[in-house]
Structure 1
Amino acid sequence: EEACVIPCPSDCKLSEWSSWSRCSKSCGSGVKVRSKWLREKAHNGGRPCPKLDLVSQVYEVIPCVSDCGQFVWLAEAWSLWKVSRVDLKEHCGEGVQTRRVRCVQSTVDGPGEVVQDYLCDPEEMPIGARESRLPCPEDCVLSDWGPWSLCQQPCNGTRVRSASPIRLPGEGKPCPPSTQSEPCQHNTNCYQYTYNITDWSTCQLSEQAVCGRGLRTRALDCVRSDGKSVKLNTCEELGLERVWLMSAPCLVECPVNCQLSDWSPWGQCSATCGLSGRMWRRRVVAQAPQGDGRPCPVPLQQWKPCPIRPCYRWHFSLWSVWSP
């Protein structure tokens, strides 16, 4: 006899979960992601690793919704006119004004700290420069244009905006029109709004749990008919019906390792004598693995040579001489 070693199984080992990432969208529905990375592969029939990506990580994703009003554009006051074509006598004429526009975090107390521009909606960014005419002393002066009126459904009317005279013109000079109108066009300046429900998240467990009962969630945001996410209260103010459950119980099955019976007694030798005999013992699967449980080892039987026994056989001599 000589000593031998059967390697023990070693399970796949992963890191702890990372922190959740920030929501992938600064406005509307997106996802949050966290990950684990491989620390040690499984060996010798240990519990296998879950499916990993190319950099040996596994991910978990949950839906999220970011408030579309949390980041807003802040426009500073217009600069003084820079006149490009000057009437030297009256210092008026065509010119340009500029202003600084920044993306800031919105708080209950007003504009907060300045953030990266990509967090604000580029479609809503106020203009930073405008060309116009610096009015001469006798010209009529209008205020900036007010906001456009809302288009009514089904987008077949017009919308208007207006300005107010700040300074009346000199005698004999008219004021420019103080109202503007344009047709309402679907998905251009007139929109319909609907709720958008995300897919369910994976089953979320308590902090230290790896299986058992948990909760899955989904998120809701408000979407314009052109696909753009808007503030959730836009849909709420329109009285749109919310009929979805936002959370539901779920169950993550606990992994079950393969369970084997005890070894059977050694069987009888396959030969009654000599050196070729073998004795076998076996075990059977008492519990098949489930989920990410440790798989069953192979083989499920072992053998060893039988104790050496001499073999005996009859040996005959030659016949004797015949005698009467």
Structure 2
Amino acid sequence: MRVLKGEVNTMAPQSLFVLLTAGILVVHRATADDVLCYAEVNMVTGECQDYLGEGVSHLDCCLNIKYAFKRDPLSPCQACRPAEWSQWGEWSPCTVSCQQGVQQRQRVCIGQGACQGGSLEVRACSLQDCCPQSGGWSQWSSWSQCSVTCEKGQRKRTRQCNNPPPLCGASCHGKAEEVEHCDTSQICPTHGQWGNWGGWSQCSSSCIIEGSGKFPTQPRFRECDNPNPSISPRGNPCPGSNRDSRDCTSLPFCPVDGQWGAWQKDSECSVTCGVGRIAQKRSCDSPAPKHGGKYCVGSPTRHNICNTQVPCPIDGSWTDWDEWSECKRLSGDAVKCSSRAALQYRKRHCVGTDHEGKWCEGEARESRSCYNIDGCPLREPGYWTEWSQWGLCSSPCGQSERKRFRECLPTYPDYPPVVEGATKIAETFFWGKPKYKCAEVDGQTLKVQETEECKNTPPCT
């Protein structure tokens, strides 16, 4: 390849490919490895799409693995990417129109190399469970009566497609009905005809409702006497109605009473978050009173709820205190089972604050002086508490019971208070579970329980 600036090449066009980029002519001589390069591959049909041009090798075309190429216009499309299956095509029509057949669909292996699996899928199909089968006719019925009672008319007979019945939507060949002429040998009756209309009567109302598109009406009448229908043979009465009407368009409009229009906002919402109150007003204009009608009844103003849809600030609140930490000294000195005081800590957390609400007031951490008696045997025996209050019934209906307890509490050693600084004396707490027991009650030394029935509970349904 060579690059020419401002120079025109006069070689045969079928052996050179010329590109113009930023004012520079790039001339490329065709080789046996040149291909037609495409920017896309149809992932259903495997066909090349979005033609880019020719005069490049398939290696250059495939610098982008999303591209594809053809050796010549009649060659199959070859994708640059590694081999992969296209999407499955549409299912073919069912091979039969009734009972069970099959359908097929195919996919194409697109890319360089071989795809694993098959290119064809087959599934069973059934457009309808049975195949149509023509039926047979029954015997003809008797002829019907003549269609008229005088002069000439028609009569008919029918047959049924049920001998045997057709199957699966089929029918019988031929007609299900036959028609022939018939003569009654009777004279026809005289049918009635209308006489002239009478004069117009009074209007149905004395005024017109404005905007209704309707008017009061006035009627007129006529008689069936031109001629009267014959009696023997009996003639038909006159067709249609003996009454006619027309609109009364020259009347005055009817009075229109006023009606309230929709409520409209008359003030801003009383709050900037959450819901509050808002003043509203309305006008007597839906419609306004006209033609002597009455004015609207009721108040033109009211107060209603309003919703800002803005969350209000939520101030935080403290959780319960965490459990006290282990009672110990930071120096690691032994304090367990002795009158040497130590420190312990506990924390709580400010939760629930949202929408710029206030943080909790107070401290999130506190400490206290303590004696560590965890697992320590106590010299003095424990003491029994009084009975607790009775607990709740175990069930809201049917058989139920309640309980109460007495507990054995430890008798702590008579350790002295702890002095912090020159003047401050802090209360000191015992921490941990010591080893102790009380005098035996009902065979127990730590906790006793009483149970009694909850009476008169309702039956369970």
TM-score normalised by L of structure 2? 0.21
Larger radius of gyration: 2
RCO comparison, higher one (Cα < 8 Å, 6+) = 1
